[in-house]
Structure 1
Amino acid sequence: MWVTSLLTLLAGAIAISMQEGPFPFARAVFDPRQIRKVLGNRGVRLATLGYFGHMWELFAMWAWFAAFFTAELASDGSGSMSAVPLATFAVIAIGAPGCWMGGVLGDRWGRTKTTALMMTISGLCALTIGLVSAGPPWVVLLLGLVWGFTVIADSAQFTTMVTELADQAYVGTALTLQLALGFTLTVATIWLIPQLENALSWRWAFAFLAPGPALGVLAMLRLRSVPEAAQLAQGRG
């Protein structure tokens, strides 16, 4: 617990020490009267739909990986349960360089292409990690690390897309709506996974997260095909 507290204090100190960058945004607030305009913006709608697919998967994976890996070690009988916290930490923490990589690729390749790639990989991980759970724990952990890297790598790209696509007059409302609905959606899948595990076992439970990134990929490919994509990543889409 003291480690968590120290890291929280460190994060707070970093946040306080940060200053506004060279390209600040004008103050943007949430205004319910602007929701209709937000929903009328095709680019924002597609970016938000992609975000919903991303959130369908992300927090449920984070919340239940430890329980999944515990069951994997218990069934295998060759691993120590003390490895579960470290393995779970690694699977979640590897998302930090994943976010960095997602940002670099988003700026260089285009946001729609990067998010579609990351969601394709993470969705495949969701589909297959239960199927490999009968194998050696190191195989499961390796796939978990790939999943942890890609499941979050696209996250910041969705909010960035909204800031690029939305009219600055209602960008605050667009971002608030995207984030609020996206985080609300996570409640459903966090609740759903243990129900599926009880009914179907861990072999299939995580597979039900895959429709989220699949929907996100379709939304990103659609966004890439419309004129609004020219507003993203300096014309890279």
Structure 2
Amino acid sequence: MKHSKLILPVIVISQFCCTSLWFAGNGVINDLVTDFGLDDSALGHLTSAVQFGFIIGTLVFAILTIADRFSPSMVFLISALLASLLNLGVIWEANSLMSLLSLRFFTGFFLAGIYPVGMKLATDYYEKGLGKSLGFLVGALVIGTAFPHLLKEMTGDYPWKFVLIATSLLSVVGGLMMMIMVPDGPFRKSSQKIELSAFLNIFQNRSFRSVSFGYFGHMWELYAFWAFVPYMLSKYSLEHSKVLFNVPLLSFLIIGLGGLACVLSGYLGQAAGTKKVAIVCLLLSSVCCVLSPLVFYSESGVVFVGFLLFWGLVVIADSPLLSTLVAQNASAEIKGTALTIVNSLGFSISIISIQLITFLMELTDSNAIYTILAAGPILGLLSLRRLKSSVSLSF
């Protein structure tokens, strides 16, 4: 297929289909706890297993420079097929906690061949308008991540296993679409060798370091917030007995509407400057972290949900902007590897914040535990301030 207006929609739809695997376990976590006799802490552990698998996967993909040495569409397809099989394995009735953790770990491993590779494909097609393109792409990730919660709500009268089957089928469809309809892009520069030094060399660039650390601060907050949205809603309902939430539907909306925020931030970045808009988003999300304990005291469920909806918008809106800056400050030959490395380190940081929140939940019932997430966006702001204005380009 020649470069056409269909390329970006296909990449976006494929990314949505495949990233629906990410929180498939979270969407049915209550059923997993009941059917397999798991502890309440399983939410944090299963989420971290996916994140850890993604980290190891991205490290392997980065060290072997897979996304730069082989056709990204083929890498995407193979990863999508393998991830779908592993995701489907969760429905096996003889699963234990260890087998569930293993299945979610390896699902995360092959997601490393989906999310960053999808971004790599976008950079191979779009030099102009990259920020806007990545806005759509990260938006697809967000909606895909939230989709299992909606599936759970839509299939309430069906067995929970339907959510796993549906997301696995979506992943197969997404992988096939990418392989058939998205060939190598016109701006792709193939690397013919393994660059074992790439992992360290890319951070010698000061501007690359600044945007990477901005991204790391963003990741400290993002997945911890997403993972515990259902818990926040459930806890508020318990503390305010007159308020009864539809947790799966609201979880989908709070996380999923962030996809629209990504698209909007892509356009705003093009108009006002990528760096400026990213800084505003980081600032707003840090304020949400700090104010979160106060909102739990509100007697109005509308105020509480409205706050979480706003938090869900600003917590992700900076992601495509930071990814754009990462891509713009990496050389073309290792752009896919650079994106993969930054993703790997970012998700490593997300595991720490998720496990820290899980640990604090076992120590205290206080709603103040989410204030520690503010450390990430604050450090991200400090890092971006060191970025020279000349590299904060508009596209």
Global fold match (TM > 0.5): yes
SS of 2:295's partner is: coil
Pairing 1:69–2:233 present:
yes
Aligned length: 230
Instruction: Give the direction of change, closer, same or farther, for the CA distance of 1:112–1:189 in structure 2 (3 Å limit).
Output: same
CA distance in 1, matches of 2:241, 2:294: 18
- Out of 181, 192, 195, the position equivalent to 2:356 is 192
- Confirm or deny: 8 A CA contact 1:197 1:204 kept in the other structure: no
Q: Report Cα offsets for 1:11-58 as digits up to 9, x if no partner.
A: 456545643597533235872212332111011101110010010000
The residue type equivalent to 1:187 in the other structure is: I
Query: Which structure 2 residues correspond to residues 42-81 of structure 1 after superposition, within 5 A?
Result: 42-81=206-245
Query: Which structure 2 residues correspond to residues 215-226 of structure 1 after superposition, within 5 A?
Result: 215-223=379-387, 226=388
SS of 1:85's partner is: helix
CA distance in 1, matches of 2:199, 2:289: 33
CA distance in 2, matches of 1:172, 1:200: 42
Pairing 1:133–2:296 present:
yes
Instruction: Give the direction of change, closer, same or farther, for the CA distance of 1:32–1:5 in structure 2 (3 Å limit).
Output: same
Query: Which structure 2 residues correspond to residues 41-190 of structure 1 after superposition, within 5 A?
Result: 41-81=205-245, 83-135=246-298, 136-190=300-354
SS of 2:386's partner is: helix
- Confirm or deny: 8 A CA contact 2:189 2:333 kept in the other structure: no
Pairing 1:34–2:194 present:
no
What root-mean-square deviation, in Å, do the aligned CA atoms of Structure 1 and Structure 2 show? Answer: 2.4
Following superposition, the deviation at residue 185 of structure 1 comes to: 1.2
The residue type equivalent to 1:129 in the other structure is: S
Instruction: Give the direction of change, closer, same or farther, for the CA distance of 1:128–1:171 in structure 2 (3 Å limit).
Output: same
Report the TM-score, using the length of structure 2 for normalisation. Answer: 0.54
- Confirm or deny: 8 A CA contact 2:279 2:381 kept in the other structure: yes
Segments of 5+ residues of structure 1 without an aligned counterpart are none
Report the TM-score, using the length of structure 1 for normalisation. Answer: 0.86
Instruction: Give the direction of change, closer, same or farther, for the CA distance of 1:105–1:86 in structure 2 (3 Å limit).
Output: same
Aligned to 2:370: 206
- Confirm or deny: 8 A CA contact 1:165 1:232 kept in the other structure: no
Q: Report Cα offsets for 1:139-169 as digits up to 9, x if no partner.
A: 1110100111111111122222122112224
Instruction: Give the direction of change, closer, same or farther, for the CA distance of 1:154–1:6 in structure 2 (3 Å limit).
Output: same
Instruction: Give the direction of change, closer, same or farther, for the CA distance of 1:107–1:27 in structure 2 (3 Å limit).
Output: farther
CA distance in 2, matches of 1:159, 1:175: 7
Segments of 5+ residues of structure 2 without an aligned counterpart are 1-160
The residue type equivalent to 2:393 in the other structure is: A
- Confirm or deny: 8 A CA contact 1:102 1:157 kept in the other structure: yes
Aligned to 1:230: 390
- Confirm or deny: 8 A CA contact 2:190 2:333 kept in the other structure: no
CA distance in 2, matches of 1:21, 1:157: 24
Q: Report Cα offsets for 1:73-126 as digits up to 9, x if no partner.
A: 111011225x11111111101111011012111222111111111111111111
Return 160-169 or 97-106, whichever deviates more: 160-169
- Confirm or deny: 8 A CA contact 1:112 1:221 kept in the other structure: no
CA distance in 2, matches of 1:4, 1:12: 17
SS of 1:217's partner is: helix
The residue type equivalent to 2:292 in the other structure is: I
